[in-house]
Amino acid sequence: MRFVLFYHSLVSDWNHGNAHFLRGIAAELLERGHRVDIFEPANGWSLQNLRASFGEAPLKAFANAYPTLTSTSYHHLNLKKVLADADVVIVHEWNNPELVAAIGAERQFAGFTLFFHDTHHRAVTARAQMQAYDLRFYDGVLAYGRILTELYLQVGWTRRAWTWHEAADIRIFRPLPEIRQTEDVVWIGNWGDDERDAELSEFFIQPVKALGCKAAAYGVRYPAEALEHLADAGIGFRGWVPNFQVPQVFATARVTVHIPRRPYVQALPGIPTIRPFEALACGIPLVTSPWLDSEGLFTAGKDYALARSGKEMTQYLGAALADPRSARERAANGLKTIRARHTCAHRVDQLLEICEGLAQ
């Protein structure tokens, strides 16, 4: 089959956490012999910021990391030509409403299956923005959490919706035991729009400071005040790291933390975002701040440790550093869960089943 995918960006993951999953799905489809054409705007926000900060070098590194993946950048699209022989079209929610509507309009006169793919909290936290998307002619929505699936159906934005969780691309995200550990604790994530400032202090900065351990932070959009807090706790700030190099970063540390943004914790229970999938796929012990795994993706206490307060985070991190054997056992359980249930191959299986069901 021919899949046509409209992404905000394939080649840039600067402040674009969905890139891991979007790339993994495309790579999996290609490996199975499908034709995959990916389109991204030439002036995409993520790509613009990446180039402004680092030039062309990250794009060359991406091509080396994903030799089978390419995209077509555009200023304007001839949609009739692009979609002429498509079988399945997926439009990610980072695209502008005008393009979303135009692709839907083409669906009226063509035979392809058309999905809108939502991987954000705006449907709950910024409904007016999401109401601007015209999904009348879409076959349905792929939402990355059950609460989003139910919302789309309840408010009538779509006739059909399926829960399509993110997952790990285990071609890239895997344990790398050959890399020497040089850090005790590592955090990978962006500071981000006042959505977890207090949580980062409580669940990362203060525990590291209390333990006096060696730690590092990676990400973008850290204001000067945040950098001062990191430095005060003795945490090294490493800046942006390409998503496909995250496994190497995890391999240098003994334990990592996951601190979800407040909108996900409060409004979207059951959606962990991509970081836990990444960490568990890489076999690193994981401690998370509070989030409700209402869909039973993992098993708290077995696959990862769940800290309900900064005090508990300090205790769990200290225990992982003092008893690495137990920490490794928990990490092994998490890795087993990923490989059994949460890989991009599992999600492609689900996607193909949905398409088959629509064709009947």
Residue 121 has pLDDT above 90, yes or no: no
In a domain, 161, yes or no: yes
114, β-bridge pairs: 89
Same domain, 148 and 286: no
Note the pLDDT of residue 179.
98
Confirm whether 177 is domain-assigned.
no
How far is it, in rounded angstroms, from Cα 150 to Cα 30?
31
Residues 191 and 316 in one domain: yes
The string of pLDDT tens digits covering residues 279-333 is 999 999 999 999 999 999 999 999 999 999 999 999 999 999 999 999 999 999 9
Contact, 181 vs 250, CB < 8 A?
no
Residues 122 and 192 in one domain: no
What pLDDT is recorded for position 192? 65
Q: Tell me how many domains the chain contains.
A: 2
For residue 90, the cross-strand partners are: 5, 115
266: pLDDT confidence band, cut at 50, 70 and 90? confident
As a whole number, mean pLDDT of residues 67-77 equals 97
Which whole number is the average pLDDT over 244-271? 91
- Dump pLDDT digits (tens) for 229-257: 999 999 999 999 999 999 999 999 999 99
Torsion of the alpha carbons at 87, 65, 284 and 226, rounded to the nearest 10: -100
The pLDDT score that the predictor gives to residue 174 is: 98
* Mean pLDDT, rounded, of the chain: 95
Residues 120, 197, single domain; the answer is no
Asked whether residue 277 falls in the same domain as residue 311, the answer is yes
Between CA 162 and CA 269, with CA 21 as vertex, the angle to 5 degrees is 55
The CATH code of the domain that includes 82 is: 3.40.50.2000
Residue 68, classed as helix, strand or coil, is coil
Same domain for 243 and 270: yes
**Is residue 132 assigned to a domain?**
yes
Which structure tokens are listed for 68?
């089978």
Q: What is the pLDDT of residues 205-216, one digit of tens each?
A: 999 999 999 999
Residue 354 falls within a domain, yes or no? yes
In a domain, 174, yes or no: no
Q: Are residue 247 and residue 107 in the same domain, yes or no? A: no
Based on the fold, state whether residues 257 and 302 are members of the same structural domain.
yes
Residue 360: what pLDDT? 78
Average pLDDT over residues 97-121: 95
My answer on whether 198 and 116 are in the same domain is no
- Do 153 and 255 belong to one domain? no
Give the span between the Cα atoms of 174 and 284, in whole angstroms: 10
Residue range(s) defining the domain that contains residue 98: 2-167+343-359
Q: Are residues 352 and 222 in the same domain?
A: no
Closest CA to 288 of 320, 330, 316, 263: 316
> How much of the chain, in percent, has pLDDT values that exceed 90?
89
| pLDDT value at 193 more than 80 | no
Per-residue pLDDT, 359: 87
Answer yes or no: is 175 within a domain: no
Asked if residue 172 is part of any domain, the answer here is no
Does pLDDT of 195 surpass 80?
no
Distance from C-alpha of 67 to C-alpha of 209, rounded to nearest angstrom: 41
Distance CA 231, CA 220 (A): 16
Structure tokens that stand for 310 in this block: 């900064």
322 falls within a domain: yes
Q: Are strands 88-92 and 72-74 parallel, antiparallel or unpaired?
A: unpaired
Same domain, 312 and 236: yes
Do residues 278 and 174 lie in contact, with contact meaning Cβ atoms separated by under 8 Å?
A: no
> For tokens 């919302």, what's the residue?
151
Query: Cβ atoms within 10 A of the Cβ of 288, count?
Result: 24
Cβ contact 149:270 at 8 Å: no
Distance CA 178, CA 167 (A): 24
